[in-house]
């Protein structure tokens, strides 16, 4: 039996965060939720890492949901529920709030909390064998507003209601039609395609990518989270950067720019 763990790996400009619990189809344990902020903070602080890819361990599945086998011990009494939910919330917030672009690489099961993690990423690339669903209504568990809003922002209210009301699973083709995923590729090509996709993003100007992410998130934000001044400052930082000068020179010299993130 493999001990569940959240793994991290750095491969050039790509940081990989790997949910490794193969005996339970990579179900997310309490300990994994708790480890997410530390791993993501390390990626955020590393100037070499430009893109973060989230995947499941092994070759079988993405994430099949939260590890329900822990619920009796860790999520039954009200105080335990509050503590578990706080750790869960911090893990998700660390993923959603990181300034670097994130990609979910999805194969087979992307269910419940796994779909929540995928929706928390900026981009989603799915294999053609992927299955999606949120079975909260089949379990009697509530789904946090923040996660509901992120899903609505992606697929709109009608599809979001269908996903929550029915609890049914749907395939990669439906997910693509809903706008839930960005790309669907053959399973055999998934990792190569995702790596090339991430590498392309990593080769672009980091400050521009960061400013673009912040602008999109600001457009979707509500109330106090809508910081227009921060979005404007990020654009100004691009325009005053060495990378902007390098981009102009490279264009005139007909070569690829060498961006440094400053």
DSSP helix/strand/coil, 246: helix
**Tens-place pLDDT, residues 221-238:** 888 778 999 999 999 999
* Residue of higher predicted confidence among 16 and 87: 16
How far is Cα 45 from Cα 47, in angstroms, rounded to an integer? 6
Q: What pLDDT shows up at residue 1?
A: 54
Give domain limits for the chain.
Answer: 5-202, 206-253
Instruction: Check residue 139 and give its pLDDT.
Output: 85
pLDDT digits (tens, 9 = 90+) for 65-74: 877 767 666 6
Percent of the chain clearing pLDDT 70 (strictly above): 95
Mean pLDDT of 82-98: 90
Render pLDDT for 101-153 as a digit per residue (tens, 0 to 9).
999 999 999 999 999 999 999 999 999 999 999 998 988 888 889 999 999 99
CA distance 26 to 55: 10
Q: Is pLDDT at 96 greater than 80 in this prediction?
A: yes
pLDDT at 97 over 90: yes
> Alpha helix (H) ranges present in the chain?
30-45, 71-74, 78-97, 113-120, 136-139, 145-166, 172-178, 190-202, 206-220, 228-239, 242-253
Residue 91: phi and psi, rounded to 5, are -65, -45
Is pLDDT of 209 > 60?
yes
Q: Which of 178, 58, 183, 177 is nearest to 128 (CA)?
A: 183
Residue 29 phi, psi (nearest 5): -90, 165
Confidence band, pLDDT 50/70/90 cuts, at residue 200? very high
State the sign of the Cα–Cα–Cα–Cα dihedral 19, 24, 29, 31: negative
4-49 per-position pLDDT tens digit:
689 999 999 999 999 999 888 898 998 999 999 999 999 999 999 9
Average pLDDT estimate for 156-183: 97
Provide the Cα torsion 219, 222, 224, 228; round to 10°: 10
Name the pLDDT band for 2 (thresholds 50, 70, 90): low
Residue 67: its pLDDT value, please? 72
CB-count exposure of residue 22 (10 Å: 0-12, 13-18, 19+): middle
Bridge-based pairing of strands 131-133 and 183-185 is unpaired
Chain centroid to Cα 150, Å, comes to: 11
At the topology level, CATH places domain 5-202 in 2-enoyl-CoA Hydratase; Chain A, domain 1 (3.90.226)
Least confident of 152-156, 234-238, 252-256: 252-256
The pLDDT assigned to 4 comes to 64
Decide the pairing of beta strands 123-127 and 183-185: parallel
């Amino acid at each position: 039996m493999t001990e569940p763990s959240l793994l991290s790996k750095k491969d050039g400009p790509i940081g990989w965060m790997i949910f490794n619990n193969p005996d339970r189809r990579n179900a997310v344990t309490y300990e994994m939720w708790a480890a997410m902020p530390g791993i993501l903070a390390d990626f955020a602080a590393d100037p070499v890492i430009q893109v973060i890819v989230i995947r499941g361990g092994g070759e079988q599945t993405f994430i099949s949901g939260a590890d329900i086998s822990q619920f009796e011990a860790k999520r039954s009494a009200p105080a335990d529920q509050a503590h578990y939910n706080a750790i869960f919330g911090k893990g998700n917030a660390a993923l959603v709030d990181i300034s670097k672009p994130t990609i979910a690489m999805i194969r087979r099961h992307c269910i419940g909390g796994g779909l929540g993690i995928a929706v928390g990423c900026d981009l989603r690339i799915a294999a053609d064998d992927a299955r999606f669903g949120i079975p909260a209504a089949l379990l009697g568990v509530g789904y946090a507003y923040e996660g509901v809003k992120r899903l609505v922002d992606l697929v709109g209210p009608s599809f979001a209601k269908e996903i929550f009301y029915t609890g049914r699973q749907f395939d990669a083709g439906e997910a693509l039609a809903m706008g839930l995923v960005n790309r669907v590729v053959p399973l055999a090509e998934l990792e190569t395609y995702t790596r090339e996709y991430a590498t392309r993003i990593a080769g672009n100007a980091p400050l521009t990518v960061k400013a673009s992410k912040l602008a999109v998130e600001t457009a979707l934000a509500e109330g106090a989270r809508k910081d227009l001044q921060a979005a404007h400052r990020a654009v100004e930082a691009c325009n005053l950067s060495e990378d902007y000068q390098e981009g102009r020179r490279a264009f005139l010299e007909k070569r690829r720019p060498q961006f440094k993130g400053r």
